[in-house]
Structure 1
Amino acid sequence: MKFRKLNLIEDKLVTTSDGSHTLFSLKYNQHFHNTEDGGLSEALHKHIIPAFTYFQDKKELNILDICFGLGYNTFATIYYILKNNLDIKINIYSPEFDFDLIKSLKDFTFPKEFEEFKNIINELSNNQKYEDEKIKIEIFIGDARKYIRTFPKNFFDIVYQDAFSSDVNKELWTKEYFLDIYKICKKNTIITTYAISTNIRLSMYEAGFFIYESRPTKRKITLAFKQEQMIIGKYIDMELKKIRNKESKALFDSFI
């Protein structure tokens, strides 16, 4: 994801189906967002709405956004809270490897829904952090695997698992990675992700998570929890999956 100059980024600007813009990553040879779903729509329906449906009465939430990228998940979270007049404090922590990308965000063409908090986008682009009485955001420039190990146990309420796909970014989808995630999740944490492949679900399951499935749009998503729950999603029996799909295996660091 190395874009050294803004004009390089603009050359790769892509308009998605909901009218919002995304980028095509030269490093990973993938779009940052599904162009058919749309950047804003994908963030809302695959991450924010499921997470905030699950947590309806919390007054403060710690959120891990893997990884920051263009910031759609973080910014859509702010947009959702403002739009619905939610009385809640959010603390968002997000790793991102590409410092040049973060520095360019103040010049990126975001959807009009984000205009109300353009000051937050600018502050993050310039200083990688923002804080007021209701919103705290920290962007860590560096290795996501190392970053998540700096947090105490039972810290996060929500994890937006939105890294590039396991085809190109396997280190953020392995069993060992999810074991680290498990440690820093609270007992009622929700993990949201677009990834639905059996091997990724097995990585999460073998790290200790219960696996659920939802279809907020025409595409399915995966939801993962430390404990069984009946609030959102359809339960997926991963032991049965292993019996029926004997060739499917969890991903491991040794595969990288």
Structure 2
Amino acid sequence: MKEFIKTIDGSNTLFSTKYNQHFHDLKTGAIQEAFTKHIIPSLKYHKNKKNLKILDICFGIGYNTLSTIYYLQKNNIEINLEIFSPEFDLELIESLKDFEYPEEFKELKSIIEELSKNKKYQKNKLKIELFIGDAREYIKTLKEIDIVYQDAFSSEVNSELWSVEYFKDIFEATKDDCIVTTYSIATNVRLSLYEAGFEIYEINPNGNRKQTFAIKQKKELKAKYIDMELKKQRNKEAKAIYDKL
């Protein structure tokens, strides 16, 4: 197991030597980042649904998936939940049984151990499936996804999971009323989402840190709509991210 790094909310994270980035924002905290950037916005958006399919890109240490389960349990929200998550690092997944998770995840220990050992978990209304391998290929096998946690390492170092072609596959794998949540507010990322067919919105849940979410059809929401055509007119140098040939 690599050295644990404590974030501001007391939860541990890791540092990726492959991508030269921390798994989480140290000044936000691993759990709080999961809540504010992904879980709360997406579950509020789908607050009336009783069945949800979530695509968690990528699993990593599992905070987005585990925080989703914790949040639902804490708030007594009963839904049928399926989570699908690709991850290329098998060694990391197998080490999670020994990871020092925060107290909030104490009741989820059996889930963590099962995922670490068998890469899947299913009990009652919860199903989790981990896929070890190429996220791009895995996405093409999925359908009818309600929520996408777009939480890959940044586009500067992991561009294959931020390109127009990638987001087109996300578009095909999701329902018409899906929501894609991400920490990134970069114009090139937003252009990639937009050119793949998504409409772009901005929220500021903490009052000091903006973030992006995307949906397939423009609608009135408690969020700032980002007119990407206007962005393109005003910033002709801005370009979407495309796969390298």
| TM-score, with structure 1 as normaliser | 0.94
- Aligned-pair distance for 1:231? 3.3
Q: What code does the residue aligned with 2:234 have?
A: R
2:92 to 89, 94, 101: 101
Q: 1:254 maps to which residue?
A: 244
Q: CA deviation at 1:230?
A: 2.3
Distance 2:219 2:36 in 1: 20
Partner Cα distance (1:232, 1:129) in 2: 36
| Long gaps (5+) in structure 2 | none
The one-letter code matched in structure 1 to 2:61 is L
Residue from 61, 81, 90 that aligns with 1:90: 81
Q: Secondary structure at the match of 1:140?
A: strand
Q: State the shift of 1:56 in Å.
A: 0.8
What is the SS of the residue equivalent to 2:244?
helix
Indicate the residue corresponding to 2:153 in structure 1: 164
Q: Cα offset for 1:229?
A: 2.3
Shift of 1:117: 1.2
1:120 Cα deviation after fit: 0.4
What does residue 139 of structure 2 align with?
Answer: 148
Distance in 2 between residues matched to 1:94 and 1:106, nearest whole Å: 17
Q: Give the equivalent residue in structure 2 for 1:182.
A: 171
Where 1:202 maps in the other structure, the secondary structure is: helix
Return the letter of the residue paired with 1:254: K
Percent identity of paired positions between Structure 1 and Structure 2: 61
**Secondary structure of 1:147 counterpart:** helix
Separation (CA, whole Å) in 1 of partners of 2:97 and 2:222: 36
- Equivalent position of 2:25 in the other structure: 34
**Other structure's SS at 2:94 match:** helix
Q: Which amino acid in structure 2 is aligned with residue 121 of structure 1? A: I
State the distance in 2 between where 1:100 and 1:213 align: 36
Q: 1:224 aligns with which of 211, 214, 238?
A: 214
Query: Paired residue for 1:198, among 187, 190, 202?
Result: 187
Structure 2 partner of 1:243? 233
Q: 1:51 aligned to 2:53?
A: no
Cα-to-partner distance string for 1:230-256 (whole Å, 9 max, x where unaligned): 23421000001001111110000027x
| DSSP 3-state at the match of 1:208 | coil
Kindly provide the amino acid, as one letter, of the partner of residue 174 in structure 2. C
Between the aligned partners of 1:221 and 1:232, the Cα distance in structure 2 is 14
- 3-state DSSP class of the match of 1:168? coil
In the alignment, the residues of structure 1 paired with residue 226 and residue 33 of structure 2 have an alpha-carbon distance, to the nearest angstrom, of 22
Aligned to 1:214: 203
Number of residue equivalences? 244
Q: What residue number does 1:69 align with?
A: 60
- 1:137 is aligned, of 106, 124, 128, to 128
Give the unaligned 5+ runs of structure 1.
Answer: 1-5
Kindly state the Cα deviation for residue 57 of structure 1 after the two structures are TM-superposed. Answer: 1.2
Q: Which amino acid aligns with 2:169?
A: D
Report the 3-state secondary structure (helix = DSSP H, G, I; strand = E; otherwise coil) of the residue aligned with 1:204: helix
- Write the distance in 2 (CA, Å) between the matches of 1:127 and 1:229: 41
Shift of 1:151: 1.7
Q: Which amino acid aligns with 1:164?
A: F
Question: SS at the partner of 2:184?
Answer: coil
